[in-house]
């Protein structure tokens, strides 16, 4: 689906489902956004009542911001790159560590129009999600998925923000399916 095909109603519906999931007891959500620069949080904030479950968003656009705000290790960033599974996972885990949220979603990517000098193609985006365990501890690992989006810089950013929200919704659906009241 292209950005042009996404209806405002679809975006509102997706954001509303996430807010409902969080309000139903999943807890609070923190975002760590790089290439989207706060766009995913902005989508969620459009839903009335979002402030009850949206802890906030770290907008960590530069390597320095990722290190200072989320505690990422500069050597890992240099080793794996800013647009990598490792960076996205570290961002999600760092956001959990720095916040009081139960769930974290992170997004990092290369929106273009120019590359960053690495072999990573423009449009590459990594989205990661992490959740505190039952004791409230931050896990050692996060799950991540790579995307390759096409379009203008802002179209890539939109698609990346939507992919981030969809990752949170997938977690919601997995939790709903795995809940004891849904098992026979």
User: What's the pLDDT at 9?
Assistant: 63
Q: What is the mean pLDDT of the chain?
A: 91
Band (pLDDT 50/70/90 cuts) for residue 121 is: very high
Task: Please work out, in degrees rounded to the nearest 5, the angle formed at the alpha carbon of residue 25 by the alpha carbons of 33 and 140.
Answer: 50
Q: Which of 5-9, 24-28, 130-134 has the lowest mean pLDDT?
A: 5-9
Partnered with residue 128 across adjacent β-strands are 106, 144
Question: Between 178 and 102, whose confidence is greater?
Answer: 102
Tokens found for residue 89: 């996972």
Rounded average pLDDT over 113-117: 89
Edge-to-edge strands, sheet with 29-33 = 54-59, 29-33, 103-109, 124-131, 143-148
Q: pLDDT tens across 160-173, in order?
A: 999 999 999 998 88
Domain-by-domain residue ranges, the chain? Answer: 3-176
Residues 122 and 135: beta-carbon distance below 8 Å = no
CATH superfamily placement of domain 3-176: CinA-like (3.90.950.20)
Q: pLDDT tens across 35-85, in order?
A: 999 999 999 999 999 999 999 999 999 999 999 999 999 999 999 999 999
Nearest by Cα to 47 from 89, 5, 11, 100: 11
What's the per-residue H, E or C state across the chain? CCHHHCCHHHHHHHHHHHHHHHHHHHCCEEEEECCCCCHHHHHHHCCCCHHHCEEEEEECCCHHHHHHHHCCCHHHHHHHCCCCHHHHHHHHHHHHHHCCCCEEEEEEECCCCCCCCCCCCCCEEEEEEEECCCCCCCCCCCEEEEEECCCCHHHHHHHHHHHHHHHHHHHHHHHHHHCHHHCC
Residues 36 and 105: beta-carbon distance below 8 Å = no
């Amino acid at each position: 689906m292209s950005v042009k095909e996404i209806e405002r109603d679809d975006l509102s519906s997706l954001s509303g489902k996430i807010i409902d999931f969080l309000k139903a007891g999943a807890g609070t959500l923190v975002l760590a956004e790089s290439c989207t620069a706060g766009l995913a949080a902005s989508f969620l904030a459009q839903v009335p009542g979002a402030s009850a479950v949206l802890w906030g968003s770290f907008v960590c656009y530069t390597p320095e911001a990722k290190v200072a705000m989320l505690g990422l290790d500069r050597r890992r960033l240099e080793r794996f790159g800013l647009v990598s599974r490792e960076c996205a996972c570290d961002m999600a885990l760092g956001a959990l560590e720095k916040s009081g949220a139960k769930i974290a979603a992170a997004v990092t990517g290369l929106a273009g129009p120019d590359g960053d000098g690495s072999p990573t193609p423009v449009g590459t985006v990594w989205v990661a999600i992490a959740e505190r365990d039952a004791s409230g501890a931050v896990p050692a690992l996060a799950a991540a998925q790579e995307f390759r989006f096409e379009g203008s810089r802002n179209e890539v950013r939109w698609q990346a923000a939507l992919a981030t929200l969809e990752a949170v919704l997938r977690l919601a659906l997995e939790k709903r399916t795995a809940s004891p009241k849904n098992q026979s």
